Structure 1
């Protein structure tokens, strides 16, 4: 057991001190801080002065109502009546006296139309605001021409009343689904990124040691099985270190900006009032999913002796992760479909898909228990097979780019 902890600590410390780990962790933390302070950063670089837009109203009727609507909508836009010609207005824009020129007129139906001139039309915000307000003005004038009252127009544009009620008392309400959707999204992306990143890290780490002949020394001092699981746990602790840092910094930022963020980000993703049970399932499926794919990654990594061959050999594992992720993304909209239900019992898809069902639906306990049982049994079976493959694989040298080498590795393990 002492050898296990030695290899584990060596795996952890050798990785945590690398420049790539430190740089990636620092960059991610900066991104978290930047996202939490995004609005403050935007405001810091924003120009406090409103954008002055020259307006030539060839109708002599549209400027006042449009100006009033814009003032009530966007304080960063200031419309200024311009008395010169269109060419004079364009020259004023080019001389940067104004940020843009707006020319108002009527079309054949005596409804508003406009031409917009600016040195750069890539800023869609101002154009969108002006377009929306002109659209509202057009609707108002069109309804007045047709004799439709404002009250009738408001009634026509009001959204239809549509209330969905579940007859099954155990089914989740629409509000509960919205609350669960956020943590489901976060969990799916976290599991996907963790398995992709740390799974490949395990496979690469094993291949690197083999290519440098360090593996021969390690195998002579500790059993390959001990070495494999020490690698898996060591990389897991490495990932846990990053996750704790990210969550810790994120929690501190959220706590300091609770009033600003509550009702915004959290309301959109429905994270505020999620049931604790969902978080418990998230942790459980995350751990089991990591163990499943990490064992597979270590097994595949032991078959190669060159780092260059790692990507090719672990490609089947990557495809499994991608398929599970795409099924889960599909299931966000239809969590009760046959594809999602069946996939939730397939071990390589269970961590993502069954967690999706648990978060979005009221899944019977026996189904969740069965899927977890199948997943744990698969991890144990894969660990047994993986240990034998790893035991023979670490002794295999030369080019390896085919899963047919699994049989060769098992044969070598029997000779030990």
Structure 2
């Protein structure tokens, strides 16, 4: 057993010290800090952006109403009245204006506008001006109809609408928004973690095999112990890296929580998250890792050349991608039938069942069944994978995957 731990810690320490691991970790930490401080970064650049828009009212009737309507919106932009287009063009050229809006009357006497700027790529600004003109036009129409203020207010008052669950245990809309944000982020963590670290195991096995180091290793330690030592060594590496990412991200988000109201972070709905959801995220991340890591280890053992590795592990990668895509589609409707069915398929369970747990009140028996199925699959795959691995590490031909598996099983029986 001492040799098992030697291989495990050698795998871990050799990977931790590599330049690629250190550089990728530093880059990812910078990205995590950038995302968690995105509002501050955006504010820095927005301070340098011109926030004044010129308004040329050729009708001479609409500027005051337009200005009042525009100021009622929550916007950082200000308006400046200009007298002609030459003045507007000159101020835009001197960067005193972002652009200018020309307001004139249409054939029905209603306001119509043309926004002019150096570039029309900023759709947010043009949409804001267009909506203001539309609201002003609606007000003018209601005035012509001699409607009272109460009638006008009633006309524009939105219909009362709310979502209400019949089940007392169902999550509220606010809780769903908070859960959706966490699930969205953790799905990416599970997806990239499984792909990156499973591929790392396959590459580790294939590299040692192609360099003939495997022949020395199997003479001193049984292949099965070696396979699981590598899997646990890379798992320890992934936990180290993930702990750094989550630790730095959590600290940064906690320090900037007051600045995360609205904007980019309103989509993710950061808020109070139950401990059980976080624990399930860790559980399904680990189970998903061990499932695909075991698969990757014996696929890597069948490769004789490094260039043959990617075609061999592509089906495994596609399973992870398919599970991730199903989870993304299910994020908007976690009660969909395809989400429920696929959450019990072991290769999709880590992402799909976690999606349901994070968004819905899932009966414990369903969670238990999915975990049992996942554990059984990992066990079967580990036994089968160990047999393939034991024979696969002795193979150096270029046979196709099916023939390689058959031959590996035959060699493992002889061993």
Common fold: TM-score over 0.5:
yes
Displacement of 1:83 in angstroms is 2.5
Alpha-carbon distance change, 88 to 264 in structure 1, aligned in 2, over 3 angstroms: closer
Partner-residue secondary structure (3-state), 2:218: helix
Partners of 1:50 and 1:76 within 8 A in 2: no
After the TM superposition, which residues 85-164 of structure 1 pair with which residues of structure 2 at under 5 Å, given as runs?
Answer: 86-87=85-86, 89-94=88-93, 96=95, 98-164=97-163
Q: Which runs of 5+ in 1 are unaligned?
A: none
1:98 is displaced (CA, Å) by 4.0
Q: Taking structure 1 as reference, are residues 267 and 70 closer, same or farther at Cα in structure 2, changes over 3 Å only?
A: closer
CA contact (8 A) 2:344 2:370 kept: yes
- In the alignment, the residues of structure 2 paired with residue 62 and residue 409 of structure 1 have an alpha-carbon distance, to the nearest angstrom, of 82
Q: In structure 2, what is the equivalent of residue 2 of structure 1?
A: 2
> In the alignment, which residue of structure 2 is the partner of 1:352?
351
CA-to-partner distance for each residue in 1:350-379, whole Å, 9 max, x for gaps?
Answer: 212222222223222222212211111111
Cα 1:96–1:382 shift into 2, 3 Å? closer
Q: 1:102-161 deviations in whole A, cap 9, x for unaligned?
A: 221011111111122222232334323322222221221122123344433433333322
1:202 corresponds to: 201
TM-score, L = length of structure 2: 0.92
Q: CA deviation at 1:75?
A: 6.3
SS in 2 for 1:333: coil
Classify 1:77/1:365 alpha carbon distance in 2 versus 1 (closer, same or farther; 3 Å).
Answer: closer
Equivalents in 2 of 1:91, 1:267: separation in Å?
38
| 1:304/1:400 contact within 8 Å kept | no
Task: Give yes or no for contact 1:312–1:401 (8 Å, CA) kept in 2.
Answer: no
SS at structure 2 position matched to 1:131 = helix
For the residue of structure 1 that corresponds to 2:402, the secondary structure is: coil
Alpha-carbon distance in 1 for matches of 2:82, 2:262: 42
> What TM-score, normalized by structure 1, do the two folds share?
0.91
Summarize the alignment of residues 7-406 of structure 1 with structure 2, pairs less than 5 Å apart: 7-47=7-47, 50-73=50-73, 76-84=76-84, 86-87=85-86, 89-94=88-93, 96=95, 98-261=97-260, 268-406=267-405
Q: Does the aligned pair in 2 maintain the 1:278–1:359 contact within 8 Å?
A: yes
Q: CA deviation at 1:92?
A: 5.0
Cα RMSD for the two superposed structures:
2.4
In structure 1, what is the Cα distance between the partners aligned to 2:91 and 2:337?
64
Gaps of 5+ in 2: none
Instruction: Find the aligned partners of 1:339 and 1:413 in 2 and give their Cα distance.
Output: 39
SS in structure 2 opposite 1:101?
strand
What count of residue pairs does the alignment treat as equivalent?
A: 415
